[in-house]
Amino acid sequence: MNNTIDIKISAAPLHTQACIDWAMSPHCGGIDVFIGTVRNATKGKNVIRLEFEAYESMAVREMTKIAAAASAKWPIHKILIHHRTGVLYPGDIPVIIVVSAAHRDAAFDACRYAIDTLKQTVPIWKKEVFEDGEVWVAAHP
Amino acid sequence: MEIKVLAFGIVKEMLSHSSVTVALTEGATVSELTLVLAEKYPAIKNLSSFAIAINGCYSTADTLINAGDEIAIIPPVSGG
């Protein structure tokens, strides 16, 4: 961890503005922000809530690897990845990724890489709870 | 050797515990652990896939397991 990478798994609500403020710097020409939000439906079924669980120590390690790889691959200034755990409701924010860079192409590319890779490698799981049942996302064929 | 295996998400529900203990021979690899787990807990064969993490890192089938390692079953992730 260094002062250009900020990684956090949190049971408490994420603070979008504080995340942006952390990435802000006079060196930067732009900040790219991805905010994941809880959608109120999956395949036409109403979602009541999502329950997120993390293998925290490994998740932090994998998120740090993503941030380090993005920093090596693109000329970015700072990268922040924060993820919630626990029970979230439609409109709540499970994930925030913020990337600042001198030029926007690097910020956009690094931000997309970070969320796409997070969804493939970081040991965090969500259960969707519907009115008539629940399912761990992606668990079954 | 006795190995403690951590379970998360759907695996925790399948095993009814957040960790289980399995017996492995000295020098066992991840592929042997996977066979032992599937025999003892057949429900995990219903997963679309799963990985084994050792000390917080993804392993491969031939990774060696040592006594005292932190082992975890990683079902398909779904963060974000």
DSSP assignment of A42-66: ETTEEEEEEEEEE-HHHHHHHHHHH
- CB atoms A127 and B9 under 8 Å: yes
Cβ of B8 within 8 Å of Cβ of A83? The answer is no
Query: Does residue A2 surpass a pLDDT of 90?
Result: no
Over residues B5-28, the pLDDT tens digits come to 999 999 999 999 999 999 999 999
Provide, as residue numbers in chain A, all residues whose Cβ is less than 8 Å from the Cβ of B8: 53-55, 123, 125
Tokens encoding A93? 């924010």
Tokens, residue A48 = 């009541």
With a CB cutoff of 8 Å and minimum separation 6, the contacts of A35 are A16, A93, A95, A96
Inter-chain residue contact A125 with B53, CB threshold 8 Å: no
Residues of A with Cβ-Cβ distance to B5 under 8 angstroms: none
CB-CB under 8 Å, B77 with A121: yes
Q: Comparing C-alpha atoms, which of A12, A87, A90 is closest to residue A53?
A: A87
pLDDT in tens, A62-103: 999 999 999 999 999 999 999 999 999 999 999 999 999 999
Mean pLDDT of the residues in chain A = 97
Where exactly are the structural domains of chain A? Answer: 5-136
| Candidate CATH numbers 3.40.50.2300, 3.90.1170.40, 3.30.70.1290, 3.40.1110.10; the one for domain A5-136 | 3.90.1170.40
**Kind of pairing, strands A86-88 and A30-36?**
unpaired
Nearest CA in chain A to B18: A55
Whether the per-residue pLDDT at B45 is higher than 90: the answer is yes
Q: Which CATH superfamily is domain B2-74 in?
A: Beta-grasp domain (3.10.20.30)
Task: Answer yes or no: is pLDDT of A17 > 80.
Answer: yes
Across the range A15-31, mean pLDDT stands at: 96
3-state secondary structure (DSSP) of residue B33: helix
The domain spans of chain B are 2-74
- Euclidean distance between CA atoms A54 and B50, whole angstroms: 15
User: pLDDT at position A1, please?
Assistant: 46
Q: Side chain identity at B49, as an amino acid letter?
A: S
Tokens of A18: 């504080």
- Chain A positions touching B73 (Cβ under 8 A) are none
